[in-house]
C-alpha cells in the first residue's frame, strides 16, 4: 500500500452496536463481508458497502462465548469456535451449518484458522492440543497432542499451507507439519512471550532462495503476548524440512497485554489490539509506529484488515465493533477540500436557524453530519425536533435506541455545542470524540499536535501536515482558501506548552 512508511490517519467510518456482550473476534471476507463474534453466543454478518446486517445473520448455534471467527480464503465458509467445545463451519450465503467438529476432550476451542489453499482448518483448545481437519471430507486428519503444556490460544498457517505455528498461554511457540500430517513438532521456542502468547499471524509473502544445492523458504510471522509486546519472527525451511525460528524485531508501545495482531493482506502493515484500549498500526519492516487508533472505552480484543487494506475493524469488551478508514497523511492533504472548522453553507436561511426551531428532518440531517446517521430513522419517526433535542437526556437517548455510551455522550456534547453556537452548523471533524480541546488538534489531520506552527493565515497546524501541504505546491490557506503570501512557519510555543500540560494532566 505504501513504500516510504508515512504516518497514517485512522478516521471512524462506522460503529456496530448490536452485540450485547464482549466482541471477541472480527474478520473480513474477500468479497465484502464482515463477521463479528461475541460473548452473546452469536456471530453476525455485515455487508461492508453500508454495514447493514445480511439476511443470513445472525448465526446462532453456540451455547457459550464465541471466541473466534474466520473466513475461508474464498469467503464461502465461515468457521467459528466457542467455549462449548465446538468448531462450526457455516455456509455464509445461507447461514446454515455445514459441519460441526469437536476435540476428543470436548474442552473449549480458543482459535481456528483456514489454510490458504482452503483444504484444511486447524483449531487450538484448552486441552493443550491442535487439531487439523479436512474441510472437504469433514474428518480429523491429525491431532497434534504433544509438547504444549497449556491452552493453545494462537495458530496460523504459512502462506503456502505447508506449516502451522501455534502458541500457548505458557508463552511457547511450536511449528508443525501441515502438508503431510506428521504429528511431530518441527521446531519450537520455549519463551516466545513472557506470561503467554495471545495470537500469531504469518505475513502473506515468502522469500525463496536457491543456492544450487538446496532451496530455502523464508517466512515472516508476527506474534503478540501478555508481555505488552508484538514480535516479528523469521522462519526458514529447506527441502528436508529443517526449520529454524529466530526473533527479528520487537514492537514496543502498548501499555498492556496485546490481545491480537494481524498483517494487512498486502503485508505492508501490522495491526495490534491491546488491553490499553488502543489499536496500533506498525511498519512491519522497521517497527515504526504509524498510527494509534483510539475510540474504545474498554479492552480491544481483536482487529482485522479488509481485503484492500483500507479498512480496519476492531472489537472490544465495550460490546462495540468500530470500523476505521485508513489513509496516509499525504492522502489527507491531497483530499483536503474544505476547512474543518469552516461554516457549512445551508440552503436558504437554514444556516441561521436556532436549534429550537429545527424540524425533525433537520435533526435527522444533523445526526448524519455528526456521523451518527444510523439513529436518524428512530429520531425522525419519534418526531424529535429541535425543541425535543434541547431537552434530551441519557434515558431518552436509550429509549430511542442509542445504547452505546460513547454515542450518547457524543450526541449530548454536540447538542451543547449547537446551543452555544446556534447560527452555524459545524462539521463533525470540529468535535473531538475523546474530549480533546479542538484547538489542540491539527485542522488538516485532526490529530493532537506535537509540533504546532502558525502559518501566514493565522491558523496553527502540525508542522509536518502544513509543510506537506506547501511542498505539494499549494499556495492557498487550507482554512480560508486565501493565498499564502509567505511560506514561513512560526512555532506556536504557547500552544505547545498547553498541549504538554494537557498530556501531563492524564486526561487522555
Binning pLDDT at 50, 70 and 90, where does residue 208 land? confident
Average pLDDT, the chain: 85
Neighbours of 344 (CB within 10 A): 12
In this predicted structure, the answer to whether residue 375 has a pLDDT above a threshold of 60 is yes
User: What class is the 9-327 domain?
Assistant: mainly beta
Among residues 159, 179, 264, which one has the least CA distance to residue 219?
Answer: 159
Residue 480, pLDDT score: 65
* Rounded Cα distance, 216 and 404, in Å: 51
* Rounded Cα distance, 30 and 78, in Å: 12
Task: Give the range among 33-47, 92-106, 312-326, 474-488 with minimum mean pLDDT.
Answer: 474-488
Task: Give the range among 221-230, 257-266, 334-343, 387-396 with minimum mean pLDDT.
Answer: 334-343
In this predicted structure, the answer to whether residue 243 has a pLDDT above a threshold of 50 is yes
Residue matched to cell numbers 453553507 = 345
Q: What is the pLDDT of residues 88-138, one digit of tens each?
A: 999 999 999 999 999 989 999 999 999 999 999 999 999 999 999 999 999
Binning pLDDT at 50, 70 and 90, where does residue 427 land? very low
Joined grid coordinates for residue 46: 455485515
- How many H-runs (helices) and E-runs (strands) does the chain carry? 8, 33
- Which own/partner contact pairs does 454-458 have at CB distance under 8 Å and 24+ positions apart? 454/489, 454/490, 454/491, 454/492, 455/484, 455/489, 456/484, 456/485, 456/486, 456/487, 456/488, 457/482, 457/484
* Rounded Cα distance, 314 and 15, in Å: 10
User: Helix 405-420 and helix 360-369: axis angle, to 10°?
Assistant: 110
Residue 10, pLDDT score: 87
Neighbours of 249 (CB within 10 A): 17
Strands (E), 17-65: 23-28, 33-38, 42-47, 52-53, 59-60
Residue 343, pLDDT score: 33
In this prediction, residues 466-486 reach a mean pLDDT of 78
Residue 63 per-residue DSSP state? S
Residue 440, pLDDT score: 83
In this prediction, residues 73-102 reach a mean pLDDT of 95
Check residues 421 and 206 and name the one with the higher pLDDT.
Answer: 206
In this predicted structure, the answer to whether residue 435 has a pLDDT above a threshold of 50 is yes
Please answer whether residues 202 and 219 qualify as being in contact, where contact means their C-beta atoms are separated by less than 8 angstroms.
yes
> Which of 8-17, 260-269, 407-416 reaches the highest mean pLDDT?
260-269
Q: What Cα–Cα distance (Å) separates residue 325 from each residue in 12, 14, 80, 350?
A: 6, 9, 26, 31
Residue 473, pLDDT score: 79
Please answer whether residues 293 and 278 qualify as being in contact, where contact means their C-beta atoms are separated by less than 8 angstroms.
yes
In this prediction, residues 343-356 reach a mean pLDDT of 45
Q: Is 23 exposed, middle or buried (0-12, 13-18, 19+ CB in 10 A)?
A: buried
Binning pLDDT at 50, 70 and 90, where does residue 481 land? low
Task: Give the range among 38-47, 86-95, 370-379 with minimum mean pLDDT.
Answer: 370-379
Q: What is the pLDDT of residues 165-187, one digit of tens each?
A: 999 999 999 999 888 767 688 88
Check residues 357 and 296 and name the one with the higher pLDDT.
Answer: 296
In this predicted structure, the answer to whether residue 33 has a pLDDT above a threshold of 50 is yes
- As a whole number of Å, the end-to-end CA separation of the chain is 30
CATH level 3 topology of 350-425: DNA polymerase; domain 1 (1.10.150)
* Rounded Cα distance, 480 and 96, in Å: 56
Q: What is the pLDDT of residues 103-117, one digit of tens each?
A: 989 999 999 999 999
> 331: which strand partners?
none
Q: What is the pLDDT of residues 378-411, one digit of tens each?
A: 888 888 988 888 888 888 898 898 888 778 888 8
Strands 109-114 and 163-168: unpaired
Residue 409, pLDDT score: 80
Binning pLDDT at 50, 70 and 90, where does residue 144 land? confident
Residue 186, pLDDT score: 85
In this predicted structure, the answer to whether residue 7 has a pLDDT above a threshold of 60 is yes
Q: What is the pLDDT of residues 291-348, one digit of tens each?
A: 999 999 999 999 999 999 999 999 999 999 999 999 875 565 555 554 443 333 333 3
* Rounded Cα distance, 299 and 341, in Å: 32
Whether the pTM exceeds 0.85: the reply is: no
Residue 415, pLDDT score: 83
In this prediction, residues 365-376 reach a mean pLDDT of 82
**Which are the contacts of 229, defined by CB distance < 8 A and separation ≥ 6?**
193, 250, 251, 252, 254, 258
Please answer whether residues 155 and 167 qualify as being in contact, where contact means their C-beta atoms are separated by less than 8 angstroms.
yes
3-state class (DSSP) for residue 351: helix
Task: Give the range among 228-232, 387-391, 414-418 with minimum mean pLDDT.
Answer: 414-418
Length of the chain in terms of residues written? 508
Among residues 372, 427, 430, which one has the least CA distance to residue 403?
Answer: 372
Residue 423 per-residue DSSP state? T
Residue 99, pLDDT score: 95
3-state class (DSSP) for residue 363: helix
Residue 387, pLDDT score: 86
* Rounded Cα distance, 271 and 160, in Å: 22
Domain locations in the chain? Answer: 9-327, 350-425
3-state class (DSSP) for residue 368: helix
Report the percent of the chain where pLDDT is more than 70. 87
Residue 385, pLDDT score: 87
Report the percent of the chain where pLDDT is more than 90. 51
* Rounded Cα distance, 60 and 80, in Å: 11
Amino acid at each position: 500500500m505504501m513504500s516510504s512508511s508515512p504516518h497514517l490517519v485512522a478516521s471512524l467510518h462506522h460503529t456496530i452496536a448490536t452485540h450485547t456482550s464482549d466482541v471477541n473476534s472480527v474478520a473480513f471476507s474477500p468479497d465484502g463481508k464482515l463477521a463479528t463474534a461475541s460473548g452473546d453466543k452469536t456471530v453476525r454478518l455485515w455487508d461492508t458497502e453500508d454495514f447493514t446486517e445480511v439476511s443470513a445473520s445472525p448465526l446462532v448455534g453456540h451455547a457459550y462465548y464465541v471466541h473466534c471467527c474466520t473466513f475461508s480464503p474464498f469467503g464461502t465458509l465461515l468457521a467459528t469456535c466457542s467455549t462449548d467445545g465446538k468448531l462450526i463451519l457455516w455456509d455464509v450465503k445461507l447461514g446454515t451449518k455445514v459441519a460441526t467438529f469437536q476435540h476428543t476432550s470436548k474442552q473449549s476451542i480458543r482459535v481456528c484458522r483456514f489454510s490458504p489453499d482452503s483444504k484444511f482448518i486447524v483449531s487450538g483448545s484448552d486441552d493443550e492440543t491442535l487439531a487439523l481437519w479436512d474441510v472437504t471430507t469433514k474428518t480429523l486428519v491429525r491431532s497434534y497432542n504433544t509438547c504444549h503444556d497449556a491452552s493453545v490460544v494462537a495458530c496460523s498457517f504459512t502462506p503456502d499451507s505447508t506449516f502451522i505455528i501455534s502458541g500457548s498461554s505458557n508463552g511457547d511457540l511450536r511449528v508443525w507439519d501441515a502438508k503431510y500430517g506428521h504429528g511431530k513438532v518441527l521446531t519450537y521456542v520455549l519463551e516466545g512471550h513472557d506470561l503467554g502468547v495471545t495470537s500469531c499471524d504469518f505475513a502473506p509473502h515468502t522469500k525463496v532462495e536457491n543456492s544450487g544445492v538446496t532451496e530455502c523458504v523464508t517466512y515472516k510471522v508476527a506474534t503478540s503476548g501478555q508481555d505488552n509486546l508484538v514480535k516479528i519472527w523469521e522462519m526458514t525451511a529447506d527441502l528436508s524440512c529443517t526449520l529454524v525460528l529466530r526473533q527479528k524485531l520487537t514492537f514496543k508501545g502498548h501499555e498492556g497485554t496485546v490481545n491480537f495482531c494481524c498483517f494487512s493482506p498486502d503485508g505492508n502493515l501490522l495491526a495490534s489490539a491491546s488491553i490499553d484500549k488502543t489499536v496500533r498500526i506498525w511498519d512491519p519492516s522497521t517497527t515504526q509506529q504509524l498510527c494509534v487508533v483510539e475510540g474504545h472505552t474498554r479492552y480491544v480484543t481483536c482487529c482485522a484488515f479488509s481485503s484492500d487494506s483500507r479498512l480496519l475493524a476492531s472489537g472490544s469488551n465495550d460490546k462495540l465493533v468500530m470500523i476505521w478508514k485508513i489513509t496516509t497523511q499525504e492522502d489527507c492533504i491531497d483530499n483536503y477540500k474544505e476547512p474543518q472548522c469552516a461554516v457549512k453553507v445551508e440552503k436558504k436561511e437554514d444556516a441561521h436557524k436556532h436549534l429550537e426551531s429545527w424540524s425533525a428532518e433537520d435533526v435527522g440531517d444533523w445526526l448524519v453530519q455528526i456521523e451518527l446517521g444510523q439513529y436518524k430513522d428512530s429520531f425522525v419517526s419519534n418526531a424529535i425536533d429541535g425543541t425535543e433535542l434541547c431537552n434530551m437526556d441519557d434515558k431518552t437517548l436509550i429509549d430511542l435506541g442509542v445504547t452505546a455510551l460513547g454515542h450518547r455522550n457524543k450526541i449530548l456534547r454536540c447538542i451543547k455545542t449547537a446551543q452555544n453556537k446556534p447560527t452555524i452548523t459545524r462539521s463533525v471533524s470540529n468535535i473531538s470524540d475523546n474530549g480533546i480541546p479542538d484547538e489542540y488538534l491539527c485542522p488538516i489531520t485532526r490529530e493532537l499536535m506535537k509540533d504546532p506552527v502558525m502559518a501566514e493565515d493565522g491558523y496553527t497546524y502540525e508542522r509536518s501536515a502544513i509543510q506537506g501541504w506547501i511542498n505539494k505546491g499549494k499556495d492557498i490557506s487550507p482554512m480560508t482558501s486565501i493565498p499564502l503570501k509567505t511560506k514561513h512557519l512560526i512555532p506556536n510555543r504557547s500552544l505547545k506548552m498547553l498541549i504538554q500540560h494537557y498530556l501531563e494532566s492524564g486526561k487522555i
